[in-house]
Structure 1
Amino acid sequence: MPSHRLDVLAIGNAIVDVIADADDAFLAAEGLTKGSMRLIDAEEAERLYAHMAPAREVSGGSAGNTAAGVAAFGGRAGFIGQVAPDQLGEFYIHDLRAAGVEFTTPPADFGVPTARSMVLVTPDGHRTMNTFLGAAQHLPATALDEAQIVDAALLYLEGYLWDPETPRYAMIRAIEVARNASRKIAFTLSDTFCIARHRDGFNVLIDDGRIDILFANEAEILALAGVPHLDAALAAVAPKVATLVVTRSEHGALAMHGGERVEVAAAPIERLVDTTGAGDLFAAGFLVGEARGLGLETSLKLGAIAAAEVIQHYGARPERDLKALAGDLLA
């Protein structure tokens, strides 16, 4: 592969997470399904925020979390996403750059505020997400720094960004630029609701050979394949991508590449606090291993370490030293 300046360049929704504790009764009173993710408008965002318990703000967004995780492992990470020139936008930019991520996309004033997601965390650690996409859903292809894409060994895209039409075209253009530069393209399915809305579009990307590494959890890969059993889903999807990675929560994770299938156990934890960002950080660890050519098993173990770290505290950004936790795996 040609030389590169960045290991991973992630493109996704730039979202500030507003995280608060909630119990099952609160979710029921609000008509929310525990563990789900829904899109809301500005009015609903304000209404829900007024009803929530005291909250803490952390910069989030799936691909942004992954970029921060790559940087925490010592990788060279970049991010492309859209914020507005407002207080939350300034917070997001500062927070991501402070994490060691290259973020140069300028704020755009569409008259729409920076995206935010109200994350309600129940005592069992499950998170219910209520997301107002704001400025993030207006990321245009003209905002892409195509030289930055060419300079990255791996382009990482989140399925969430496929939902609005404008950033979908930006993602398609980014894939074209990366393909022409012989870069690898990774894609995460993000959520079963994304698959329900865009299964055909995702399958076109996969069937056309435009995705090199596909990330999914077990529910997502079943939804994409349209079958009820994991082995059948793997058999249907794995031949279409160079590398398929499937996370299975407490049951660990697996990866398939060519004829090879590798499985690893979940990394041990002391206490489950908040599952927000588990898949994002798993992807970060795997991509660091991929960028360094460490092989499927080591890459999966790095992903498991990062996921285990992030679910033991609030927020989707690592708080402990991931390089230290990885130890000899990165030596």
Structure 2
Amino acid sequence: MTDTRLDVLCIGNAIVDIIADCDDAFLEAEGLTKGMMRLIDAEEATRLYDHMGPAMEISGGSAGNTAAGVAALGGKAGFIGQVAPDQLGEFYRHDLTAQGVEFTTPAADLGVPTARSMVLVTPDAHRTMNTFLGAAQLLPPAALDEAQIEGAAVLYLEGYLWDPETPRYAMVKAIDIARRAGRKVAFTLSDTFCIDRHRDGFNELLDNGRIDILFANEAEIRMLAGAEDFDVAVAMVQNKVETLVVTRSELGAIAVRDGARAAVAAEPVDKVVDTTGAGDLFAAGFLYGYTNGRSLEQSLRIGAIAAAEVISHYGARPEADLKALVAARLG
């Protein structure tokens, strides 16, 4: 990519992940369904935090994880998201920028605190997420830095942020800016509940040629297409975008570009510890490969390597040297 300052600029929810171990009995006592994500209010966030065991804090959110992954791979990454001028907001900014991500969106006192997600991880590596969106869901169009968007080879948007109305306007404006500048726009469907609520809106984006690169998992692509069969769903969507990328957990991933299809197996993992961030890091790896001229298959491999690393430990940020892992396995 030429004439760009950033490889990937991500827009999404600025959420501090608070991660703790728990057992199935704790989930049952709290009335939680294992593996699900629910939205909660500030009062419930405080109550649940008081009941949790020892925890660690990480600057999270889907797009933030992807930005951190791109930076860890050696790419130039930026992030746009809303935090409040509070302790968690300061922590989020410091933690993300310390990982090499450009995050210049100013904090704003919007009457709600910085978002946080209580992530409960059971011994079988399933994570149950309890998310208070706080300031993150109030990202206004005015917070966008147009020059930052124009200077990024790829603008990457998370479907989670499409749900609230205010940031949806910001994302539409960002797409307009990126397209006028001749940049690529990538979009991740994020979750089946996002598709359930916004299937028509997502399909309108695709049908109108507003998205160049679409990320989905197997369940999401089926729901978006309204088809039970995986191959049928892929066939229904692939011609709407320049590049379609679909992850399939232990079955690996596929990508389709201009009718050409590539597939890779999942990278081996000694033990799956925590699946938080697997899709986010896969997207980071693929986009790093894409913006650095790698082939479709190589970009998928980098995504698989990054995802395998992040599920081998707690948290959605890489702990091993991703650049070294990719060099060792791909050269």
TM-score bracket relative to the smaller structure: over 0.9
Deviation at 1:37, TM superposition (A): 1.2
CA distance in 2, matches of 1:39, 1:295: 38
Contact 1:302 1:329 in 2 (8 A): no
**In structure 1, what is the equivalent of residue 225 of structure 2?**
225
Q: Distance in 2 between matches of 1:13 and 1:95?
A: 15
Aligned to 2:58: 58
Q: Which moved more, 1:34-43 or 1:151-160?
A: 34-43
Answering whether residue 286 of structure 2 is matched by residue 294 of structure 1, we say no
Give the Å deviation of 1:328.
5.7
Instruction: Map residues 217-256 of structure 1 onto 2, 5 A cutoff.
Output: 217-256=217-256
How high is the sequence identity, in percent, across the aligned residues? 76
Contact 1:252 1:263 in 2 (8 A): yes
Q: After TM superposition, give the deviation of residue 53 of structure 1 in Å.
A: 1.8
CA shift, 1:49, in A, is 1.3
How does 1:13-92 map onto structure 2 within 5 Å?
13-92=13-92
**Contact in 2 for aligned 1:323/1:330 (Cα 8 Å):** no
1:108 and 2:108 are equivalent in the alignment:
yes
Does the alignment pair 1:325 with 2:325?
A: yes
- C-alpha separation between the residues in 2 aligned to 1:252 and 1:330? 17
Q: Which amino acid in 2 is paired with 1:129?
A: M
Residue matched to 2:135 = 135
- Cα deviation, residue 276, structure 1: 0.4
Shift of 1:330: 6.7
Residue in structure 1 matched with residue 196 of structure 2 by the alignment: 196
What is the DSSP-based 3-state SS (H/G/I as helix, E as strand, rest coil) of the residue aligned with 1:315? coil
Task: Identify which range, 272-281 or 29-38, moves more after superposition.
Answer: 29-38
State the secondary structure of the residue aligned to 2:19.
Answer: strand
Residue of structure 2 in register with 1:144 after alignment:
144
CA RMSD of aligned residues (A): 1.1
Q: Please give the secondary structure, in 2, of the residue aligned with 1:154.
A: strand
Question: TM-score normalised to the size of structure 2?
Answer: 0.98
In structure 2, the residue matched to 1:184 is: 184
Residue of structure 2 equivalent to 1:209: 209
Q: In structure 1, what is the Cα distance between the partners aligned to 2:31 and 2:206?
A: 35
For the structure 1 residues 41 and 112, does the alpha-carbon distance in structure 2 shift closer, same or farther, using more than 3 Å as the test?
Answer: same
Q: Distance in 2 between matches of 1:201 and 1:156?
A: 17
Q: 1:76·1:101 contact (CA, 8 Å) conserved in 2?
A: yes
Aligned partners of 1:298 and 1:329 also within 8 Å: no
Structure 2 SS opposite 1:65: helix
Worse-matched range after superposition: 137-146 or 32-41:
32-41
Partner of 1:3: 3
**C-alpha deviations, 1:238-283, integer Å up to 9, x for none?**
1111111000111111101111111101111111110000000000
Residues matched between the structures, number: 331
Moved more, 47-56 or 165-174: 47-56
1:31: Cα distance to partner? 2.4
The structural deviation recorded for 1:32 is 2.0
Alpha-carbon displacement from aligned partner over 1:55-109 (angstroms, at most 9, x marks no partner): 1111100000000000000000000000011110000000000000001001001
Aligned-partner Cα distance in 2 for 1:242–1:159: 18
Q: Deviations over 1:215-240 (max 9, x none)?
A: 01111111111111111110111111
Provide the C-alpha distance between the structure 2 equivalents of 1:29 and 1:236, rounded to a whole number of angstroms: 43
CA distance in 2, matches of 1:293, 1:32: 44
**What residue ranges of structure 2 are gaps of 5+ in the alignment?**
none
Aligned partners of 1:117 and 1:129 also within 8 Å: yes
